[in-house]
Amino acid sequence: MEKMKVNQTLDAKGLACPMPIVKTKKAMKDLESGHVLEIQATDKGSKADIKAWSESTGHQYLGTIEEGGVLNHFIRKSSHDETTSETKYPYTISNEDLMKTLEDNEQVVVLDVRETAEYAFNHIPGAISIPLGELEDHFDQLNKASKTFVICRTGTRSDLASQKLASNGFTNVFNVLPGMSGWFGKTVNFNQ
């Protein structure tokens, strides 16, 4: 295959969520409309993250090519009239409030949208694991009316997942902030 022509390359190798997105946002600000940014990342979750972020801002996600353990993501910067301002999901809950809800044994769904390896090593007891990149394939496994708390490591992927759920008819969805990076409640892992 011929080398892809890009206008700028961003090295995000070795960085974990949310840093590939943070660096991508910054690089996109300096890129001219119509130009293509290549993001090189090793975080497997970056594929879903960058695709979802592109869709939420109106930039064109062109695709991802994996070479030697590096994910090469390609985004075309849209012109000002093609983009939408990045939206944040408006309904959030703090880690502390979710812990209280769980302690009160309320009937809720905790949806963990991190990658399966992240989930395996540390998750909230009873949480359902559906990585962000697979979420749309599993809508039918979730009850649209259930009170659903969406969590990831920092709140970025869960924000995008919450938006996807809400736009597909889920009516009682909350993004958990700051997410597992600040979670001090009960957790389990695959060894338990």
Q: Render 31-97 in DSSP notation, one character per residue.
A: SPTT-EEEEEE--TTHHHHHHHHHHHHT-EEEEEEEETTEEEEEEEPPPTTT--PPP--S-EEEHHH
The three-class DSSP label of residue 138 is: helix
Q: For this structure, is 152 an active site residue?
A: no
Please write the tens of the pLDDT for every residue from 95-122.
Answer: 999 999 999 999 999 999 988 878 988 9
Q: Looking at residues 78-92, what average pLDDT do you find?
A: 76
Q: Looking at residues 19-37, what average pLDDT do you find?
A: 92
Is 25's pLDDT higher than 90? yes
Q: Looking at residues 128-141, what average pLDDT do you find?
A: 94
Active-site residue (options: 2, 5, 6, 17): 17
Contact 101, 171 (CB under 8 A): no
Q: Looking at residues 83-106, what average pLDDT do you find?
A: 89
CA 25 to chain centre: 14
Question: What is the CATH number assigned to the segment(s) 92-182?
Answer: 3.40.250.10
Is 191's pLDDT higher than 80? no
Q: Looking at residues 80-91, what average pLDDT do you find?
A: 74
**Bridge partners for 129 per DSSP:** 112
Q: What is the pLDDT of residue 5?
A: 86
Is 165's pLDDT higher than 70? yes
- Residue tagged 């390896």 (tokens): 117
Query: Which sequence spans correspond to the domains of the chain?
Result: 8-76, 92-182
CATH value of 8-76 in 3.30.110.40, 3.30.1490.190, 3.40.50.300, 3.30.499.10? 3.30.110.40
- Proportion of the chain above pLDDT 70, given as a percent: 94
Q: What is the pLDDT of residue 97?
A: 97
